Amino acid sequence: MISYKELGLVNTREGFRKAIEGKYAIPAFNFNNMEQMQAIIAACVETSSPVILQVSSGARKYANQTLLRYMAQGAVEYAKELGKNIPITLHLDHGDSFELCKSCIDMGFSSVMIDGSHLSYEENVELTKKVVEYAHQYDVTVEGELGVLAGVEDEVSSDHHTYTEPDQVVDFVTRTGVDSLAISIGTSHGANKFKPEQCTRNAEGVLVPPPLRFDILEEIEKRIPGFPIVLHGASSVPQKYVETINKFGGALKDAIGIPEEQLRKAAGSAVCKINIDSDGRLAMTAEVRRVFAEKPAEFDPRKYLGPARDELKKLYMHKVQNVLGSENKA
Ligand code: G3H
Ligand code: 13P
Ligand code: ZN
């Protein structure tokens, strides 16, 4: 059993309290390799932002659980070396079983998500409560989920949103004891969040997706005032990356994300954790494709992963400064 406290990590409790009071959201960036980790830490140190390093079960399989844990430990030291001891949380994203959550807690994660949103309500309550009871013994915080996001959530996929039912939230948080709640208000995972036919065109001809259901968010906030809310599927799918990818041989079709103004608005509410994975994937892929196309003789991975890492850092700084509002909150 390794305590996250020995690794210099923090749970989400204090950070979420400050984020709600201060009307900003803490970035939760997914990572599975060194360059992503370096970009996340460098960006958050430079902007003095707290950060949640987020690992999916797929990422854990990809990178190896032990290596990832050492990388998170390394991230804490790396941040100090860069000049700022920012609060860093190591979080399991979309945990799908008690065993996986327990394994992460035992290995030094400071926060876990148990995603029982695809189960029946009663099964979700039961599983989430079991994880909370275990996690809280070690002062590890737990995120639960109510409502189902459209699209693919890990290995489970759903064609339609099942928006979070505000009337269930009091019962869910009371009975489970969770520390934060992920909700479904119209976001979804991946780079294809909306079909073009769902969107309208603005004066510049840019596709504008239907707005998030802020009415549902408000109802939830009324029922559990001050309780930390989490927004998954919050990538904005910057069109500059989509265009670069497609210009240099990619084939991304109808890639549409959540407009940044909507996320800024959400960050000012009880939403205090915003999950971003796909935008980082797009930024890296765009840069790698650009280097491959412009310098076909290049075969040193540092020459394409380096520019990809630089672009990622820029993207993360932009999110912190202009979307989440977590700059100078470390
Ligand atoms: O919510 C899903 C995250 O974007 C993680 O995706 O399961 O492909 O690592 P992944
Ligand atoms: P995106 O696919 O929109 O980046 O969402 C990531 C996420 O919710 C991770 O849990
Ligand atoms: Zn998610």
Residues 29-56: pLDDT tens digits? 999 999 999 999 999 999 999 999 999 9
Evaluate whether 172 touches 122 at the Cβ level (below 8 Å): no
Domain that includes residue 142, residue range: 4-324
Q: How far apart are the first and last CA of the chain?
A: 28
Number of domains in the chain: 1
Q: Average pLDDT of 300-308?
A: 98
Q: How far is the CA of 113 from the centre of ligand 3 (A)?
A: 10
Q: Is residue 329 part of a domain?
A: no
Q: Name the strand (E) or helix (H) holding 39.
A: helix 34-46
Q: What is the distance between the alpha carbons of residues 277 and 291, in angstroms, rounded to a whole number?
A: 22
The tens digit of pLDDT for each residue in 223-245 reads 999 999 999 999 999 999 999 99
For the chain, percent of residues with pLDDT exceeding 90: 94
Residue 27 included in any domain? yes
The pTM of this model reads: 0.97
Segment holding 272, helix H or strand E? strand 271-276
Count Cβ neighbours within 10 Å for each residue of 67-88 and write b for 16 or more, e otherwise: ebbebbbbbbebbeeeeeebbb
Q: Which residues are catalytic?
A: 93
List all residues 6 or more positions away from 105 whose beta carbon is below 8 Å from its beta carbon: 112, 134, 135, 138, 140
Grade residue 314 by pLDDT with cuts at 50, 70 and 90. Answer: very high
- 217 lies in some domain: yes
In a domain, residue 330? The reply is no
Confidence of residue 222 (pLDDT cuts 50, 70, 90): very high
> Across residues 294-301, what is the average pLDDT?
98
Is residue 117 one of the residues assigned to a domain?
Answer: yes
Would the CB of 58 count as within 6 Å of ligand 1? yes
Asked if residue 153 is part of any domain, the answer here is: yes
Question: What is the 100 CA–ligand 2 centroid distance (Å)?
Answer: 20
**Residue range 110-165, pLDDT digits in tens:** 999 999 999 999 999 999 999 999 999 999 999 999 999 987 654 555 667 899 99
Task: Select from 154, 157, 237 the residue to mutate for testing ligand 1; criterion: most ligand atoms less than 8 Å from CB.
Answer: 154
Contact 29, 197 (CB under 8 A): no
**Is the C-beta atom of 189 inside 6 A of ligand 2?**
yes
Q: What is the CATH number of the domain that holds 275?
A: 3.20.20.70
pLDDT band at 5 (very low <50, low <70, confident <90, very high): very high
Contact 163, 185 (CB under 8 A): yes
